[in-house]
Amino acid sequence: MAICNPPSSQSKKTIKQRFLKLLPCCGPSAAPSVSQCNIEDDFELSTVCHRPEGLDKLQEQTKFTKKELQVLYRGFKNECPSGAVNEETFKLIYSQFFPQGDSSTYAHFLFEAFDTNKNGSVSFEDFVAGLSIILRGSINDRLNWAFNLYDLNKDGCITKEEMMDIMKSIYDMMGKYTYPCMQEDAPREHVENFFQKMDRNKDGVVTIEEFIESCQKDENIMQSMQLFDNVI
């Protein structure tokens, strides 16, 4: 989830579809029709090692319907038969959508954001909790999730070093052959612009309060936050 200028309306659908493809369970081949998802077999728990919470509980904890959760789970289990995905598998899945670059570092940061229990794996519960925030959460929820992604050491503020690591990972992921060509100093320029806009008291770090306040005042960022509304 990157804070960036929103695309044109013509490309919204394509970007929404691409965003879903980046997530392990949402590829088009992994999403059967809802009619295929029988209520009585809930999650077919006997076939997995990790047993997810019941549908009703997950429905209460997220903003997805029961039928949406069924479709998501069947796709997740198709990619991750054990019921959970480790970091290496997550990186492998993610890399398939950025063959022109190296997505491993950004995938690592994204995995850390989804792995809320810090146990080295992302369960279906972890996955849909994060997905619910990204796709259905309030603006504040989404901004908090993005801040947590950028705050690499989870100390409550974003440093220039952390933002530089994030930006380098994004540029690495996009590859060297993008159009228009990216300049080598582009990540540093992006970081400087970020801090000029976000670091309101000029103390060298961006707090969650500064981050949310600055984002809410930026029309482009607000439009990008709304990009994934009702995507599923």
Give the whole-angstrom CA distance, residue 63 versus residue 221: 23
Digit-coded pLDDT (tens) for 13-33? 444 444 444 444 343 333 333
Task: Check pLDDT > 90 for residue 144.
Answer: yes
Digit-coded pLDDT (tens) for 80-105? 888 899 999 999 988 888 888 999 99
pTM for the full predicted model: 0.71
Digit-coded pLDDT (tens) for 101-135? 999 999 999 999 999 999 999 999 999 999 999 88
Q: Which residue shows structure tokens 């970020």?
A: 194
Task: Check pLDDT > 50 for residue 36.
Answer: no
Query: pLDDT higher for 7 or 225?
Result: 225
Task: Check pLDDT > 80 for residue 43.
Answer: no
pLDDT of residue 4: 45
Digit-coded pLDDT (tens) for 187-228? 889 899 999 999 999 999 999 999 999 999 988 888 776 655
pLDDT of residue 80: 83
Sign of CA dihedral 141, 156, 4, 162: negative
pLDDT of residue 130: 93
pLDDT of residue 54: 81
Q: Cβ distance 191 to 167 under 8 Å?
A: yes
Task: Check pLDDT > 90 for residue 160.
Answer: yes
Task: Check pLDDT > 90 for residue 162.
Answer: yes
Task: Check pLDDT > 70 for residue 2.
Answer: no
